[in-house]
Structure 1
Amino acid sequence: MSLKKKLGMGVASAALGLALIGGGTYAYFSDTAEASANFAAGTLDLVANPTTIIDVKNIKPGDWMDREFTLQNNGSLDISKVLLETDYEVIDAKGDNAEDFGKYIEVSFLVNKDKKTEVVYKTTLDKLKNDKDDVVERDLLGWVLGGEPSGLKAGTSDKFSVRYKFVDNGKDQNEFQGDQLKLTWKFNAKQTAGQSK
């Protein structure tokens, strides 16, 4: 190895040694802090009780049926509204129906007893299919009568009464003999608006 290379290697080794010594003797203060976060989502849990509001046989035009049921908020979040969605299936026993059986099953009333509000007043199932009424909204009359505020708070329930009626139109309704109408009411709960936490 040439003298130049030996001198260059020596200088480089000396510089590296000084750097290591200087780095080892440099002192400073230090400290650390740690923060964590946890996000737990709440739940919406709406329960209808009973799940079968009505199961009746041998009805005839002019008959009416009164029933009661409860909607319970078993979740951890308040519910701002509960939309009623109506659907039904008609089972035509003889295959002779010229009309929709749902036109002759009337909801005479659907009352929220806690809100003191009449949610539905005299409409037939075929018309109710197109509506999405809020069953936990207190109207003006409910406010005057001292009904609970709109919505359904976590851990509370609302009681309802409903009357169904097989409308007698005063004409021949023989086409509906032996028929069945299977009604499904879906109660679709919506959360309250977001807020600062």
Structure 2
Amino acid sequence: MGIKKQLGMGVMTAALGLSLIGGGTYAYFSDNETTNNTFAAGTLDLAVEPTQVIEVDNIQPGESMTRDFELQNNGSLDINKVLLETDYSVIDDQGDNTDDFGNHIEVTFLYNADQLNEVVYETTLAELKNMTPEAVNEEVFMPMLGEDGLESGTGDDLVVEFAFADNGEEQNQFQGDSLNLEWTFNAQQTNGEDN
């Protein structure tokens, strides 16, 4: 056998060996499965009922009125914290105010309407406006709602007393004035859990 034939046979043997090795890598058993997975985010849905807590005409120094409202958790997640932001504007009827009307409106958060002497926290609208929402949560909502907050699908009645404080001095500057109060409630979820 000549050298050409030997080289030709060697090349063909090598090609056959490579094709068997390459073809052999696909000759194993296999199987696969596909899983379908879902991540659905929960919801926070804080509602306040009624949406207008108080509307009073012709209030005078020394008068007070009690109002109750309900915080409702209509979402699928528990609410850990309720933060309250207070804002108000005063319409000075005569333009003669030397003091903020909000300093003379006292706000008292009470445990319930049946026992009005159980005070949770007492302040003025002006002080409440300057408090951080976190401070309001610690002073007002944690004592009222408890450390667990507001569970999904539940509600809690809250009672607030508003009073036009009689400071024993002339308060004529507030005659005809009005104060428009805006409360913004902000719900925050509880910490997540490892499942």
TM-score by length of 1: 0.77
2:143 pairs with 133, 138, 154, which one? Answer: 138
My pick for the range that moved more, 32-41 or 43-52, is 32-41
Find out whether 1:71 has 2:76 as its counterpart: no
Alpha-carbon shift at residue 194 of structure 1 (Å): 1.9
Question: Structure 2 regions of 5+ residues with no counterpart?
Answer: none
Cα distance in 2 for residues equivalent to 1:118 and 1:12: 99
Does the 8 Å contact 1:62/1:168 carry over to 2? yes
Alpha-carbon shift at residue 74 of structure 1 (Å): 0.5
Task: Give the SS at the match of 2:160.
Answer: strand
Alpha-carbon shift at residue 181 of structure 1 (Å): 0.5
Does the 8 Å contact 2:79/2:188 carry over to 1? yes
Aligned pairs (5 A) from 1:34-183? 34-107=34-107, 109-113=108-112, 118-121=119-122, 123-131=123-131, 132-134=135-137, 135-138=140-143, 150-183=148-181
Amino acid at match of 2:126: D
Alpha-carbon shift at residue 75 of structure 1 (Å): 0.6
Amino acid at match of 1:91: I
TM-score by length of 2: 0.78
Number of residues paired by the alignment?
184
Does the 8 Å contact 2:110/2:161 carry over to 1? no
CA shift in 2, pair 1:169/1:30, >3 Å: same
Alpha-carbon shift at residue 25 of structure 1 (Å): 6.9
Alpha-carbon shift at residue 52 of structure 1 (Å): 0.4
Does the 8 Å contact 1:119/1:133 carry over to 2? no
1:41-78 Cα offsets, whole Å, 9 max, x none, are: 11111101001000111111111111110000001111
CA shift in 2, pair 1:35/1:61, >3 Å: same
Amino acid at match of 1:72: Q
| Moved >6 Å (runs of 4+) | 11-18
More helix by share: 2
Cα distance in 2 for residues equivalent to 1:138 and 1:102: 24
Amino acid at match of 1:136: F
Task: Give the SS at the match of 2:130.
Answer: coil
Question: Structure 1 regions of 5+ residues with no counterpart?
Answer: 140-146
